[in-house]
A and B are shown apart, each in its own frame.
Chain A
Amino acid sequence: MLKLGVALAVGASIALAAQAVFAQDRELKIGVVAAESGSFVSAGNTIVAAAKLAAKQINDAGGVKIGGATYKINLYIRDNRTDVNVTIAAARELVDDVGVKAIWGTETHDFSISMAKITGASKVLQFSGNSSLGAVLDDKAVAPGGWLHYTFQTEPQEWQRSGSTAKGVLALLTPLLPQAPKHSVVFVGNDATGQYLSSHYVKALEANGQQVDLVKYPPDTTDFSPLLTRIKGLKPDIVHFWYNGDSTLTAFPQALKLDVAPAYFLFGVDPGIYAERRLKSDKPVTLSCVPVCWGASPYPAVQDYFKQYFDLGAAKGPQSSVSLLYYDYFFMYAKALEQVGSLDNPDAVVDAILKMKYQGVVSPVPLSFNDHHQVTFATEVCLVQPDTSDQFKTAVQQPPPAPPPGDPGG
């Protein structure tokens, strides 16, 4: 009898231990590498906030059902301090030590490429909202065995984004100017991201009939008055502030005081922050968001998303909409895992994602990736009604069908 009792006790212990292990195995480990400090923090924190919201919603809805088991997403968030070395170290730790199945991030273009060297070799999926990945996502890189086979670019190709943005900005501003604008100045931070993005945007403006001057500023510039005075001397019809939202919000008020141009375009500045800052201009101002506009999007799904996003404690920053370059893909990934029925078959997950059409928040048209693992969707461009801070007219601009002359695509 005693032996039977001991056997039952041992059996029960083993069962409990097995259950504990089984319960522990039901954790879906996802890494997030983003700038929670350093100069890119305003973009980086949006990734973290989007990831937290998506993970909470998926977990609250019952988790991810994979092969008959239910998995709850557990986020492993790492601050890359806007430093490429920290980014690489964080990716290495997440992949090798934590054992994540996928990584979201980073917001800094060149850092993402460095990180892909680590995720790709370990068959860990990577979702990065960086259009500059287009320069390396070619047939060979994304093929099975290629170093970017597991990497997905969650932002449209830059010629697409630049094309839709340029067309939208000119369409909104032209009727408000005494004569059709012919001369644009693109004012951009002189870093890797700024150089890559502006090269496409200049071509897009030229394709839309603009003569373009490109003026680059040192990335940490605070007092823009000398550079803006130079731009004023060029007598532009439109000044396009491109791409860093924080720098734009520093430079733009200075431009208004110096009366630099008859019209402005602010890239990467959400209407929501324009209203929060109570910015006001008697000149026409357009804004475009990355990719849809917090504060002026016409779509109820987007409005609802931002309500939940801020309710969860996210800061209201200049680039809150950047979060939407990351949010939907949690659901796509979860759906792909459920279709594949296994956590340990990343190649099948990649295939499932490539075949998927997913109706997300970022676009009214279902999201899908092309053969180069890139997504396509429209850009929202807003016009601020003159002398107001919170009255916007929004236009949804589709990307052009092909890169403009002189743009190699990518």
Chain B
Amino acid sequence: MQIFIQQLVNSLSVASVTILIGIGITLIFGLAGIVNFAHGEFLMVGGMVTWFLVVSGLNFFVALVGAMILVGALGFAAERGLFRFTLDRPMNGFIMSIGLSVILQHVVIRLFNEVQKTIPDPISGVWMVGGVDIIAMRAVVVGITVIVVAITYLAISRSRYGMALKASIADPDTAALMGIPVRRYVTGVFVYGSVLAGLGGALMIALFPITPFTGSVVIIRGFAVSLIGGLGNVGGAVLGGLILGLVDGLSAQYGYPEWTDAYSLVVMIVILIVRPQGLLGGTLGPRAT
């Protein structure tokens, strides 16, 4: 029983970083209509910036804010400089994003070399609760994820801007006629998703070492989460992340350990067959006009 509970705690921790990646992707993919495969590299850049700032002497949480700002700026530049020209042709944007991901990997290798980067634990310590190990930094990551989810959910479902954003997705032409600056909303969503990638990268390097290739590993799970939950649906991304985390934790314990990734992807495939629109429903994603 103790091991089972430990795996549930592990699942929550695994889910947190996945949810942060998934929310960014689901917003950009589902609401802005851009398939950005370089989103994983945005996360990696966030981790590398955090590493650089921490080894330069800055406090981790200051470095985290720095990573969010820098990756947000990177997102702004990418959207304005690249993706805005592909909004009518999402496949072009998709291919472009693959190129961007390779370029970002090589830029990071050129700047910081290829060697794995790590930082000292920003918050160290392990709490033992009822025989279950709770790693302090992981608990902090879970807490930050909960806050980010709450803010994002409220901003999209309750605020005036969120309503306008939904209107822009549902019918861009009518929304524009109503005075909603649709293009600016697209940029805003892209930048916000990028900021979350920066946050995800900063939190990731607080937990694990990262390399210039970390992004290409996490991106698949990010897309899986956004599709499982429903494109553009923040609650769906949370649900998707929790499901994948749970599958990871329980399959590692009770299944073939080397198949852990496969179990997660099988779950995704089954869900997409049964519920093509995702568990909580969402947008149809990018459409060529």
Q: Which residues of A contact B (CB under 8 A)?
A: 36-39, 41-42, 45, 190, 215-218, 220-223, 225-227, 229-230, 232-233, 246, 249-250, 254, 257-259, 277-278, 315-318
Contact = CB atoms under 8 A, between A and B. Distances in A.
A250 B208 contact: yes
A37 B105 CA distance: 9
Interface stretch (B110-118, B151-159, B178-186, B187-195): B110-118
Interface of B: 3, 6-7, 10-11, 13-14, 17, 105-106, 109, 113-116, 118, 120, 126, 133, 135, 204, 207-209, 211-214, 217-218, 248-249, 251-253, 257-262
B24 to A, nearest CB: 17
B101 to A, nearest CB: 12
A226 B253 contact: yes
Contact of B114 (A41, A225, A259): A41
Contacts of B17: 223
Given A225-B13, A229-B6, A229-B7, 20 more contacts: A37-B114, A41-B114, A215-B257, A217-B260, A218-B259, A218-B261, A220-B217, A222-B204, A222-B218, A223-B248, A225-B135, A226-B260, A227-B260, A229-B252, A230-B253, A232-B3, A249-B116, A258-B126, A277-B118, A278-B120
9 contacts: A45-B114, A218-B260, A218-B262, A222-B208, A226-B14, A257-B135, A259-B126, A278-B120, A318-B116
Given A41-B114, A316-B115, A230 B257 contact: yes
Contacts of A277: 118
Contacts of A246: 116, 209, 211
A230 B109 CA distance: 35
Contact of B115 (A42, A216, A278): A42
Contact of A42 (B3, B116, B248, B261): B116
B187 to A, nearest CB: 31
Contacts of A258: 126, 133, 135
Nearest to A251: B208
B261 A222 contact: no
A268 to B, nearest CB: 13
Residue picked from B211, B251, B257, most chain A C-beta under 10 Å: B257
A218 B248 CA distance: 11
Given A218-B260, A220-B217, A257-B133, A226 B7 contact: yes
Nearest to A260: B133
A38 B258 CA distance: 21
Contacts of B7: 226, 229
A250 B209 contact: yes
A227 B257 contact: yes
Contacts of A190: 258
A190 B260 CA distance: 11
Given A217-B258, A249-B116, A317-B115, A37 B106 contact: yes
B3 A229 contact: yes
Contacts of B113: 315
A112 to B, nearest CB: 20
Nearest to A82: B213
A315 B248 contact: no
Contacts of B10: 223, 225-226, 229
A190 B252 CA distance: 14
A201 to B, nearest CB: 16
A142 B205 CA distance: 47
Nearest to A320: B115
A318 B116 CA distance: 9
A146 to B, nearest CB: 35
A273 to B, nearest CB: 9
Contacts of B208: 222-223, 250, 254
B252 A230 contact: yes
Q: Rank and list the top 6 A-B pairs by shortest CB-CB distance, nearest first.
A: A226-B252, A216-B258, A190-B258, A41-B114, A225-B10, A218-B261
A9 B257 CA distance: 78
Given A37-B109, A230-B257, A257-B126, A225 B14 contact: yes
Contacts of A232: 3
Q: Which of A39, A225, A227, A315 has the most CB of B within 10 A?
A: A225
Nearest to B217: A220
A193 to B, nearest CB: 14
Nearest to B254: A230
Nearest to A229: B6
A216 B257 contact: yes
A138 B10 CA distance: 47
A332 B262 CA distance: 46
B121 to A, nearest CB: 8
B209 A249 contact: yes
A221 B260 contact: yes
Contacts of B114: 36-37, 41-42, 45, 315, 317
A107 to B, nearest CB: 13
A272 to B, nearest CB: 12
Contacts of B211: 41-42, 246
A318 B3 CA distance: 32
Contact of A223 (B13, B106, B262): B13
A20 B80 CA distance: 53
B38 to A, nearest CB: 16
B115 A315 contact: yes
Contacts of B3: 229-230, 232-233
A308 to B, nearest CB: 19
A223 B17 CA distance: 10
Contacts of A223: 10, 13-14, 17, 207-208, 248
